[in-house]
Amino acid sequence: MIRLILANIKRYIKNPSLLASMVMIPIILVVSLNLFSSKSDNQSMYFSPVAVVSHSSGKYEHKLINNSKLKENTFRLNEEDKAMNLLKNNKVSAVFVLDKNFSTDIDNLKRPAVKCFKTENGGGSLWAESEIESFINNSLKSKIDRNLDEKLTKTTIVDNKPDKNTNLFLPVFLICYFMYINAAHLASDLFSLKKSNVLRRLISTKHKDIKIIFSILLGLFFIQAIVYTLILGCLTFVGDFKLTLNVLMIVLANSFVSTGFVFCIARVFKNENSISLVTTFYSLIGLAISISSLIPSMNELSFMANLSKLTPFYWTINAIKSNDSILINVIVLILIGIVFVTAGSFKLRDFAKN
């Protein structure tokens, strides 16, 4: 079994066009979008607006709100109920409450308290969290020496929990999303095995069908997991992105799901042109309904929200968004992968002969 897996991994490595599509395109895409997003203040990339409750006369509060795109929904401390009503009615994705001593704490070299309230399905507050955190860090850094900088940047603005690494969303999601876009190219490899009669010869040997199936499947899974993990590892040298255990779990889970997806579409759709259309359609529609389910104004469409949960994109976004508790999302991704693998590996012998 191990020899068969290694043989399939070597076969993928010796395929330059396959490796090029897996390596070059996602790197170019991620780096380009990171450069674009670093030059853009477009809050809409992070899905939805937020509300800010603060002391109206505080000098730092005034500076924070006026120097960013947090002006749209701002309230005084005695108007917190109005902000919470917006949250309850899904008009905003989160409410940030700045402590009444926000400015005083910064002047005294103390990190001010910031509370964040979200609905269960609330998304889109990553941009605001990053903006507020960056503002606090920069304000404190201007008042203290460099020896305290590293210590301060390790704290967080929301409930004193560890930093969620808001810089990881674009790279991780784009890498995972590309796995499904590239499924048509990977499925073509299965068809080449079939057309060259390699599959037919394999199933005629002493090896059992299930051993052949899983050697090909695991070979594809390992090559995807290795390549995409190395890509994310390389991105750590480009910017603030960090390859953590949580990120690795998300990438490995999606590698498994996309591998099963490749086998499934190859078995169901026997024409390579049809597979290209199916993978494009599935990726675009799945992404659209998954993102729409995170927009507060769309949460009322329960059908759309429930439909999005059948796609791996919803659980990937949710895993990245709730980076401190991703286990349930990873488990669901694995279950989706098992469904794809089961459907794709059914009657391999018929696939090889027909």
**What's the pLDDT score for residue 296?**
52
Domain boundary among the residues 109, 134, 163 is at 163
Give the pTM: 0.62
CATH label of the domain that carries residue 48:
3.40.1710.10
Q: What angle do CA 35, 41, 43 make, to 5 degrees?
A: 115
Domain boundary among the residues 134, 163, 192 is at 163
**Whole-number Å distance between alpha carbons of 154 and 134:** 12
**What's the pLDDT score for residue 332?**
92
**Whole-number Å distance between alpha carbons of 124 and 130:** 11
Beta bridge partners of 98: 114
Tell me how far CA of residue 4 lies from CA of 8, 13, 197, 202, 220, in angstroms: 6, 14, 17, 10, 12
Structural domains of the chain, count: 2
Q: Do both 240 and 284 map to the same domain?
A: yes
**What's the pLDDT score for residue 152?**
40
Q: Do both 242 and 263 map to the same domain?
A: yes
**Whole-number Å distance between alpha carbons of 35 and 309:** 31
Sheet bearing 51-54, strands edge to edge: 74-76, 51-54, 94-98, 114-118
User: In the chain, where does DSSP find H-type helix?
Assistant: 2-13, 16-38, 59-66, 80-88, 102-107, 126-141, 149-152, 169-181, 183-195, 198-203, 209-235, 245-268, 272-292, 302-308, 312-321, 327-344, 348-353
Consecutive sets of 10 residues in the chain, 354 residues long: mean pLDDT of each?
83 79 73 58 53 81 73 82 84 84 84 80 64 79 55 42 53 84 80 74 69 82 88 74 83 92 81 78 81 57 72 86 76 92 71 62
Q: Do both 205 and 186 map to the same domain?
A: yes
Q: What size, in residues, is the chain?
A: 354
Give me the domain span that covers residue 310: 2-38+168-353
Q: Do both 109 and 153 map to the same domain?
A: yes
